[in-house]
Amino acid sequence: MIKRTIDQDLQRWRHARQRKPLIVRGARQVGKTTAVKEFARSFQVFLYVNLDMEEDRRLFERELKAPELIRLICLRFSEPFIPEQTLLFIDEIQFSSLAIKMLRYFYEEIPELAVIAAGSLLEAVVSDEHQSFPVGRVENLWVHPLSFAEYLGALDRGDLLEGYRSIPASLPYIEELGRLFKVYTMLGGMPEAVARYLENKDMVMVNRVYESLVRAYAEDVDKYASDKSLARALVHILNTAPAEAGKRITLEGFGSSGYKALIIREAFDKLQKAQLLKLYHPLTSTSLPAIPNYRRKPRLQMLDTGLLNYQLGIQEEYYLAPDLVSVYKGLMIQHIVGQELETLWTSSGSRLGFWVRDKHQSSAEVDFVVPHRGKLIPIEVKSGKAGSLRSLIQFMLLAEHDIAVRVYEGDLRIDRVPLPDGRTFRLLNLPLCLCARVLDYVEHYLGGEGEASSGV
């Protein structure tokens, strides 16, 4: 059993003063059901219903009041209802609009009952049926593929995990963490793939997991395609998107096709709701609020870098390449950093974006921007230890604060960088393996700890 960081989120939810039904969101096979079932061990009574099964759906079709329904479910499983010690888990809830509606009444009529709902195709299916979740009466928890920290936990390397969590991390830890981060970048964070790898270190077995996932995602198309033309567009994107990952894309004719922008946009919207990929639309402001510009080309991020490596056929490069810079022209570095940064948000939707400035003879693009304490923190991912800071400098000339981040394969340090207008800004140089801890390091240095070294 791989320990997940969302276990702590679930415990916090359980003991909240005003607990609402919890909706666990995430793509298929990222570990939602496993995490909830493990969490259920802390309850005396666990009631699990799977609405993909007709027999379980019928429990909700009688439209009973919440107290009567919970008694019926308890009778069905020969379990008592013990207030404060019963967890009801409604899996694949998207298959019953009545079950979705019932979440409100569980909250209002049986507040002592812990209720969790989940579904792999939640957003895609629900939106088609014009069914929404009870606003203000549910909470959300996003489940992502395993983070690097969770991968370290799965390795049972408590020493390295402790070093990873220490700020600042010491050089010996950073070197070993960097070595393992390369393996993690190749493998990705799909729980079953990681588990298979840790069992026997056999990538053939791992690739069988990836192949099964690719096939399962393709088979899901019929569940959220309203017609055959949309289904074909969805299959086309699933087949061609891996080659475009990490790049800014054009919807019209995506993947060297004849598809019009309208149907490609609809297909991408479905796949985003299924959380198989994300389209980051650029920001053009250096301050909050972070409002994406939907008229400009978005950048494509796939669900998992390990799955992406399999689909692109580049796993062998990780064994042959001396560093991550050499893998797939450095594109996987940006992709894995995006995947790691996504884990910063579990109780709210992602707020990750990137920044562009498109002006004649003065274009600039910063890989990521992250909101933090009322500021937009720019994060540039560099494929080497050096590299130009031109885009970061363009951002900082317009920014109202003085800190920026470079994620790269180099040492941990903070520099003072001059701007053309005479001002300076602090540049946090963060090793790749620590990228998910970026806000902790920003907080550390913004708090006045650590002095800037000379030069860049």
Q: Tens digits of per-residue pLDDT, 259-282?
A: 999 999 999 999 999 999 999 999
Q: Which amino acid is at 455?
A: G
Q: Residue 82 — left, alpha, or beta (φ > 0 → left; ψ -120 to 50 → alpha)?
A: beta
DSSP class of residue 248? B
Phi then psi for residue 243, to 5 deg, are -70, -15
Q: Which long-range contacts (CB under 8 A, 24 or more apart) does 395-403 make?
A: 395/286, 395/355, 395/357, 395/364, 395/366, 396/425, 397/421, 398/286, 399/286, 399/287, 399/375, 399/425, 400/286, 400/287, 400/375, 401/375, 402/426, 403/375, 403/377, 403/427, 403/428, 403/442, 403/445, 403/446
State pTM to two decimals. Answer: 0.92
Encode pLDDT of 396-451 as tens digits.
Answer: 999 999 999 999 999 999 999 999 999 999 999 999 999 999 999 999 987 644 44
State the alpha helices, DSSP H only, in 78-147: 97-109, 122-128
Is CATH 3.50.50.60 correct for 6-142? no
Encode pLDDT of 336-363 as tens digits.
Answer: 999 999 999 988 778 899 999 877 656 7
Sorted by where each begins, the domain ranges of the chain are 6-142
Give the rounded distance of the alpha carbon of 118 from its chain centre: 16
CA neighbor of 393 nearest in space, from 446, 357, 360, 352: 357
Give the rounded distance of the alpha carbon of 418 from its chain centre: 35
